[in-house]
Amino acid sequence: MKHAKKSKVMNAVRRLVVTMIAVMTVISLVSAQSILVFEDFESGNFASKGWYDGFPDQRTTSEFKNGTHSYAGNFAKGATKSGAGRHLFTATDKLYISYWVKYSSNWVGSGVGYHPHEWNILTTEDGVYQGPSDTYLTAYVEQHAGKPLLALQDGKNVDPNCILLNNNSFVGCNGKFSTYTYTESRSVCACNGLKGYVDRRDCFATPGSTSGYYSARLWDADTIYFRNSSGPFYKNDWHFVEAYFELNSIVGGVGVANGKIRYWLDRKLLITSDSILFRTAIHPNMKFNQLIYGPYIGVGSPVDQTWWVDDLTIMDGLPVTGVDGAIEISDDVCIYPNPSRGKFTITFAGMDNSIEVYNLLGVKIYTAQLMQQTTKEIDLSDAPKGVYLVKINAGKEIYKSKLVIN
């Protein structure tokens, strides 16, 4: 009897050890990014979910990607705004934002060379009611005239004693721009030099700025992607947008241009750089902590037009880590949206595959065999919220990634 009891105890210990190893193995394959904000727009009680500063209930059931609702931003003809609101989140130096978006078939945006603004991301250096256009740092995610766009603005940081204007002329600088010595108390965007990767820039005098100048840097996609005709990237279809900002380092009291930006549309990487200067040593502890939904057309909307968003997610890092931080787990396989509420799409390069999904205890909760398919939709809506591991066997190759259900 003693021997039997001892055997049962040993077997129980072995099972516990095996379970712990399985858990640790799975955990080692996923990363520890946290979901800071998730908004599916199914409920309109926005204040209870952390939204403030007037975020109105503009939900609609006429358009949605998932669930039964999306959030509608309508610009009446001549209007400058289509609703606005804010959401604070845990401060982070690595910010990932994703959402589904659709534009009305007559969408033309502003009709001029700038705007509309869509999403603004502010930092801990500014107050919780600070306007987005005069800050120590604002990051923008939007599209203009069909081209995806990322941008930065930091007008409050400008050193007004030496200004580099858009036409490459300068103001002040003791009469010579090339020999003016900037300190770390300066703009990182445009008005005070061009350290780091530059695509487009904007520096002009404005009375609305603390420094007297507007200073911005912008990065466009290479061509128009939100298109007017039906087919791939048609603006009146739902599209999945992802953007990523990673703040640069401060070394020896100097800001180093090693920050990162990324923009994906329907999993296609359109904007990327690892040479971005977001902050100087004047703001070494700056972190992202505020989202502003702030659609804005300064000249007034040329037509009555609408955009819709669904399943907005903010995380403190990329949801899937891979080579060079790529979201796609390989050139042959990608998974989106991730995170989601349980419905995922996996695309392949037309090979035979098997798919397995495990929870963090190493228990298989889903499996499927695919023969020469290029797309597979997985519905895990009934699974509890959390992190899961997906394993894809494709011949001699095995791909692993995490799925986040929120």
Residue whose pair of structure tokens reads 């990607």 in the numeric block:
65
**Tens digits of per-residue pLDDT, 337-376?**
888 889 888 887 766 778 899 886 678 899 998 777 778 8
Q: Which helix (H) or strand (E) holds 394?
A: strand 386-394
Instruction: Of 138-142, 216-220, 263-267, give the lowest mean pLDDT range.
Output: 263-267
Instruction: Band the pLDDT of 326: cuts 50, 70, 90.
Output: very low
CA distances from 61 to 39, 42, 72 (A): 16, 9, 10
Q: Is the pLDDT of residue 399 over 80?
A: no
Structure pTM? 0.80
> Across the chain, which distance is largest between two alpha carbons, in Å?
96
- Which tokens is 320 given? 């899937």
- What domains are defined for the chain? 2-30+326-405 (2.60.40.3080), 35-315 (2.60.120.200)
Sequence-distant (≥ 6) Cβ neighbours of residue 316 within 8 angstroms: 33, 34, 36, 90, 92, 94, 95, 96
Q: Is the pLDDT of residue 3 over 90?
A: no
**Tens digits of per-residue pLDDT, 166-213?**
999 999 999 999 999 999 999 999 999 999 999 999 999 999 899 999
Percentages helix, strand, coil for the chain (3-state, rounded to 5) are 10, 40, 50
**Tens digits of per-residue pLDDT, 8-51?**
545 554 444 434 433 333 333 334 468 899 899 999 999 999 99
- Residue 112 half-sphere exposure toward CB, CA atoms < 13 A: 11
Residue 85 or residue 34, greater confidence = 85
**Percentage with pLDDT > 70 across the chain:** 87
- Residue 133 half-sphere exposure toward CB, CA atoms < 13 A: 16
What is the model's pLDDT at position 16?
A: 43
Q: Answer whether 41's CB lies under 8 Å from 69's CB.
A: yes
Mean pLDDT over each residue of the chain, to the nearest integer: 88
Instruction: Band the pLDDT of 391: cuts 50, 70, 90.
Output: confident
Residue whose pair of structure tokens reads 């941008």 in the numeric block:
151
The span from the CA of 321 to the CA of 328, in Å, is 9
**Tens digits of per-residue pLDDT, 50-69?**
999 999 999 999 999 988 99
Q: Answer whether 361's CB lies under 8 Å from 368's CB.
A: no
> In this structure, what are the phi and psi dihedrals at residue 147, rounded to the nearest 5 degrees?
-95, 120
What is the model's pLDDT at position 10?
A: 52
SS3 of residue 280 by DSSP: coil
Q: Quick one: average pLDDT of 262-280? A: 94
Q: Which residues pair with 148 in a beta bridge?
A: 143
Q: Which of 267, 273, 266 is nearest to 226 (CA)?
A: 266
> In this structure, what are the phi and psi dihedrals at residue 48, rounded to the nearest 5 degrees?
-70, -15
User: What's the one-letter identity of residue 26?
Assistant: V
